[in-house]
Amino acid sequence: MLVGMGLAIWQPVELPVLLGWGEWLTAHPGMLLLLVFVMTLLFSLGLPGSAFIWLVAPFQPLVVSTGLLVTGSVAGAAGAYHLARALGSDLPVGPRGERIRIFLASHGNMATQCALRLLPGFPHAAINFGAGVLKLPRLPFLLAALLGLTVKWAVYTSAIHSGLGALERGEVIALTEVLPLVLLAVMLLIGVWLRSRLERHGK
């Protein structure tokens, strides 16, 4: 997000031109469906799909962009969960994923899963695969993914819309428009603290 906002301020390509390209690219519903499909596939395989926010959020209304991102990420979370559930302990998750799996084994309730989803930079693949390997209840897992990712994507997209809107108008960004970014910063600090707790928990 910081890189994207930096490019918007620096503007190696004029912002109206860049937004025009994006609007042209995402104008067709079929293209949006393709983006959601690819995002779902990436998340299902444990690959990063969050970068798709820059192909959706700046060019679609807030509710639409949030809905598309939530659909792709929740569907991807379900795909990863079922893949891990089928493979079980044969699925390689790496040291960090193993620590998160150990944490979820004793703190895998819906509220905790939802809280983990809200944290910027937290490895969603580890949550998805860990929940699948542990065979945590499917419905609470999906509800936690839906609630957590809806709030998270809404904050991200509103931050992008606020920043780009002010830049397009050539105005100084008002305090109310940076509140989503402040919230993200707070969430990030909490995420760093929680990751350090997980590091100690896994030792």
Please report, for the chain, the start and end positions of each structural domain, with discontinuous segments joined by +.
28-46+59-201
- Give me the pLDDT at residue 112, please: 83
- Give me the pLDDT at residue 81, please: 94
Residue 127 corresponds to which tokens in the numbers above? 């949550």
- Give me the pLDDT at residue 44, please: 92
Please answer whether residues 66 and 56 qualify as being in contact, where contact means their C-beta atoms are separated by less than 8 angstroms: no
Mean pLDDT of successive 10-residue segments in the chain (203 residues)? Answer: 55 55 68 88 87 80 90 95 84 67 80 80 83 91 93 84 63 57 65 64 51
Please answer whether residues 64 and 153 qualify as being in contact, where contact means their C-beta atoms are separated by less than 8 angstroms: no
- Give me the pLDDT at residue 166, please: 60
